Structure 1
């Protein structure tokens, strides 16, 4: 697993058939797809890289170098006194200008109404008018345009690659012709937080679990979820450590209900605090690409919304 602190999607204009890629290409979780200098040989390979490929974002390399330098200066100025935050902690979050964020048209944004945390919309980025407004598709409810009043404030979030971005913006104006879209205020700064592979989102999801040989089945209440696995409470102990199985559950990712069927290994079984039920720890294995994308979107969205 590659530990790059930030990845940014590959732009179609930056990569062509018959040409060598100028940087190393990873998937969204930091796994190597293509070494720097490798030639893109055919259209199928090109399409795969455009769909799944990310490269290191040099903007974030600069940010993290400056952060590290700042911490070093702080330590020296205090005669070796440890700073309040470590370099690792500071690298997890940064405040940057919107101009530094390399979002692309069509990027999914999540709008959470500031004074009603339960009201959320999924929209897509249309574009920017620098220092004026951010343009997104019209928020929808059950396939119909939502009523957005001018001045309504949102917490806006997006999480491409390995970072979650968030900023506050207000509705300037809803436009309905020739296509419906919304102008949001242009933020001065965007907060960015690194999301790690093992970051766990707190959830409450009912799942169906099948485990072991002979197979045992039961319903589980999942309490947390990450890209690597989950833990669930079951009324009785199910299977034994290292048993293989299947877990099935539904999530809402990017505004859509998605049903996941994932292979798992049972890693732990232990009684809950009350002793009436048993907590089971599962590791996901052989996760298909589409399921990874759904899982990533859901985990990142849940983590961002819990801040």
Structure 2
């Protein structure tokens, strides 16, 4: 699978931020993994409960195979969160886990916060087969030609879709930290004939915060891999 990069590939990383600068909302999903690279890099989703400024913050207990994860006091975890158009990253260590009144964990108050702005203009060119579902028709095999945070360019038979038609397709994401399948709902916004084929510009419907974070990871990861290459 070939990828090329459109737009600049060096997103600005902001440092020196405080925990308060993130403006985390109660119930927001946080994603955590062990900081130690020798440990299994399983990614856990937890919910933010609250914080005592300068002391600690609380999350729900991570779950693995339908059981609460054993939390070793002093173990460091790397956290990621998406709020607004920024992805935040910080490291924190386990202070204590509790089971009452419900399973939750105290983590140390982070000293350093990094933020990276999600650039909607980033676009990755690719040739990725996708199966597209649409109302009133059987799934149509197509080719995704590029992808951004706001939409994609799809190549498919000419006149198979109309402008403003609603579509959906599944985007598999496989990376070291993330493994999931995103169901992306979109609307056809443009159409250009290419002989027997056509290029359809689609705009994504509003993404859930979790899906937006995963999509950002995938685009950012692809851009980084191309830069290294």
Query: Do both share a fold (TM > 0.5)?
Result: yes
Whole-angstrom CA distance in 2 between matches of 1:168 and 1:203: 33
TM-score by length of 2: 0.66
Q: Give the equivalent residue in structure 2 for 1:226.
A: 148
2: CA distance, partners of 1:282 / 1:123: 37
Deviation of 1:98 (Å): 1.6
Q: 1 or 2, which has the higher strand percentage?
A: 2
Counterpart position of 1:7: none
Higher radius of gyration, 1 or 2: 1
Whichever structure has more helix as a proportion of its residues is: 1
Q: Which residue of 2 aligns with 1:259?
A: 183
For 2:132, the equivalent position in structure 1 comes to 209
1:238 matched to 2:145: no
Gaps of 5+ in 2: 1-7, 225-229
In 2: Cα distance, 1:178 partner to 1:204 partner = 50
Alpha-carbon contact 2:185-2:205 (below 8 Å) kept: no
* Aligned counterparts of 1:104 and 1:281: Cα–Cα separation in 2: 40
Instruction: Report if the CA contact (8 A) 2:91-2:112 is conserved.
Output: no
TM-score when scaled to structure 1?
A: 0.51
Aligned to 2:5: none
CA distance in 2, matches of 1:154, 1:223: 36
- Report how far residue 300 of structure 1 moved: 3.3
Quote the Cα distance in structure 2 between the aligned partners of 1:113 and 1:159. 19
Partner of 2:83: 160
Q: Which has the higher contact order (CA 8 A, sep 6+)?
A: 2
Q: CA RMSD in A?
A: 4.3
Match of 2:96 in 1: 173
What is the CA–CA distance in structure 2 between the aligned matches of 1:134 and 1:199, rounded to whole Å? 33
What are structure 1's unaligned runs of at least 5 residues?
1-87, 271-279
Q: Aligned in 2, Cα 1:92/1:262: closer, same or farther, shift over 3 Å?
A: same
* 1:191 Cα offset (Å): 0.3
Alpha-carbon deviations, 1:183-204, whole Å to 9, x = none?
Answer: 1121112001111222357999
How far did residue 102 of structure 1 move? Answer: 1.7
Residue 190 (structure 2) pairs with residue 284 (structure 1): no
